Amino acid sequence: MKPGTKPKPTELKELAGNPGKRPLPHGKRQARGEMPRMPGGRLSALTQFTWVRLRAALEPLGLLTDADPEVFELMVRHFARAIEADELVYSEQLVLDGEKSSYRHPADVAFVQHSRMFLRYATEFGLSPSSRAALDVMLPGEEDKSWAELLFEGTQAAAEGKQRTTSLSRSIGARSARALAGAGLGTLELARMAVKEGMDLSSIPGVGPATVRKLEDLQ
C-alpha cells in the first residue's frame, strides 16, 4: 500500500460532487450485489439496532455491497461495546477505590478504545461528522431534513417525545409507532429495515404480531 492519505471510495466522491474534479475511476470497480442480511443470532440487541439504523441510512446511497458485511459488523459491534461500557461506568462510578489508591474504571478505558475503533470504521463508510457535512445528501422524500437528522431521526423522535402523525403511525397505528420510537425505530424506513433484517420486534412492549405482519406487507 502506498503511503499518504487513503483514497476515498468513488461513491463518496460522487456524493460529495467530486470536489477534486479529477476523472473518477468508474472502470476499476465491479458492480456488486446487496449486502447480506444481519447475522442476528450472534449480535446483541443494541448491536442489531445499530446495524439496522446505519444500514437504513447508508443503503439508499449505494455504499453497501456484498463485500462489506464483515467490516460493517465490526463497526456496529464497536459502537455497541462502547455504549455498554459507558453504561457500566454510569451505573457504578468513574473512579474506583483500590487497596492502595484509586483507579479509573476499566470499562471507561474500554469505552475510549471502542469509540476510537468505531470512528475509524465509520469514517470508511462516510459517517464521521466531517464526512456527513461533505456529502450533504438527502434521501428520497426527505428533502427538508439534513443528513445528520436522517441518520439519528429514529432516536430523536423518542427522546423528544414527538406526537406528530408520521408515515410510520399512518401505516401501523399511533400506539405501535410510539412503541417503536421508544425503541429507537421511529421512522417507517427504520421499522421496515428492522423487519427485513429479522429483528424480533414483537419483543418490544406495545408491538404485537399484527404490527409485524403489517410491516412485512410493506416490504
Residue whose entry in the numeric block shows the C-alpha cell 423487519: 195
Strands (E), 62-118: 95-97, 102-104
pTM of structure: 0.67
The x, y and z cell numbers of residue 20, run together, are 477534486
- Supply φ then ψ for residue 104, to 5 degrees: -70, 140
**pLDDT, tens digit (0-9, with 9 covering 90-100), for 63-92:** 889 999 999 999 999 999 999 999 999 999
Look at residues 104, 53, 60, 110 and name the one whose alpha carbon lies nearest to residue 85. Answer: 110
- Chain-centroid distance of CA 123 in Å reads 13
The DSSP element (H or E) to which 103 belongs, if any, is strand 102-104
DSSP-derived secondary structure letter, 197: T
- Binned at pLDDT 50, 70 and 90, residue 28 comes out as very low
Q: Does the structure show a pLDDT above 60 at 23?
A: yes
Q: What is the DSSP string of 16-45?
A: TT-TT-PPP-GGG-----PPPPP-GGGS-H
Residue 29's contacts (CB-CB under 8 Å, 6 or more residues apart) are 10
**pLDDT, tens digit (0-9, with 9 covering 90-100), for 148-161:** 454 455 445 444 44
Rounded Cα distance between 108 and 89, Å, is 6
Mean pLDDT over each residue of the chain, to the nearest integer: 79
Cβ atoms within 10 Å, residue 172: 22
- Supply φ then ψ for residue 24, to 5 degrees: -85, 140
At residue 134, the 3 state secondary structure works out as: helix
